[in-house]
Structure 1
Amino acid sequence: MDHAQHTRLDVSEYTEAVLTGATVYGPGDETVGTISHTHGTGQGAQVVIDVGGFLGIGAKPVLVPVTQLDLMRDENRGVHAVCNWTKDELKSMPEHRD
């Protein structure tokens, strides 16, 4: 997927309603997880990414700062994120518990 043509989200869009369900892509454009929910809004928000598993079963939730993601909309207005972590790097992070 060519993210160069996608529109970056404005900080005001860093909300639970906008980010929940967004696919997260890693450095090789592989799917590394899905945003399950957020903590806070705006620049200081953190997101919980579900990594691994199948259809949400067995996924490991990890908490990352929203500033570590490049959040954008594709040509169909779908929200997704790009990060510098591989799936294995995310899996090695501490598990997040609400």
Structure 2
Amino acid sequence: NKPAAPAAQSTAENKPADNGTAATDQTKTSSIDKSTLTEMPMGNIRVDDLKGTTVYGANDAEIGSIGDVVLTPENKPDAVIVEVGGFLGIGAKEVAVGMDKLKFMTDKNGKKYLYTNFTKEQLQAQTAYDKSSYAANRDQQRMMLK
């Protein structure tokens, strides 16, 4: 979770007790009141803003986090790279999820959430993202929301 340090620092100012409680946050995923979240306008989102975002799947289960964003040749976001499974970033599988229908949400403290309708099993069964062959195999490596 090192790339998410800047985001963690900004929320730590508001909630000093937040530092060691990341593990407990994960147990409360179902208690996040989605009605308090607002959708982030895609036009204003920078790639660096998306890295570290927690990804939720079917039934609002936490399924991973965004490790990177793939850009098109025109420098537009094409897919987010979701790190699925693993522990503390070790052994995680990277899966590309197309940006087309993704909705990024944010809470009043600026913490970001991505809700999808995928299950962890669907992501783990997906062809892994491979930076060197993504352009040639985009259709196989890029999952799309239906």
> Which has the larger strand fraction?
1
Say whether the fold is shared (TM-score over 0.5). Answer: yes
Tell me the CA shift for residue 23 of structure 1.
Answer: 0.2
Amino acid at match of 2:58: P
Paired residues, what number?
A: 97
Match of 1:32 in 2: 63
Question: Using the alignment, how far apart are the partners of 2:78 and 2:40 within structure 1?
Answer: 14
Tell me the CA shift for residue 76 of structure 1.
Answer: 1.4
Larger Rg: 2
Q: Does 1:8 align with 2:39?
A: yes
> Which has the larger helix fraction?
2
Amino acid at match of 1:4: S
Tell me the CA shift for residue 67 of structure 1.
Answer: 2.4
| Residue pairs, 1:14-25, within 5 angstroms | 14-25=45-56
Q: 2:104 aligns with which of 67, 71, 74?
A: 71
Match of 1:88 in 2: 121
Q: 1:62 aligns with which of 80, 86, 95?
A: 95
Question: Using the alignment, how far apart are the partners of 1:64 and 1:30 within structure 2?
Answer: 17
Match of 2:86 in 1: 53
1:14–1:45 Cα contact (<8 Å) kept: no
Question: Using the alignment, how far apart are the partners of 1:17 and 1:90 within structure 2?
Answer: 23
Select the structure with the greater relative contact order (CA < 8 A; seq sep ≥ 6).
1
Structure 1: runs of 5 or more not aligned: none
**Normalising by structure 2, what TM-score?**
0.61
Amino acid at match of 2:51: T
Question: Using the alignment, how far apart are the partners of 2:36 and 2:116 within structure 1?
Answer: 17
Question: Using the alignment, how far apart are the partners of 1:21 and 1:34 within structure 2?
Answer: 6
Moved over 2 A (4+): none
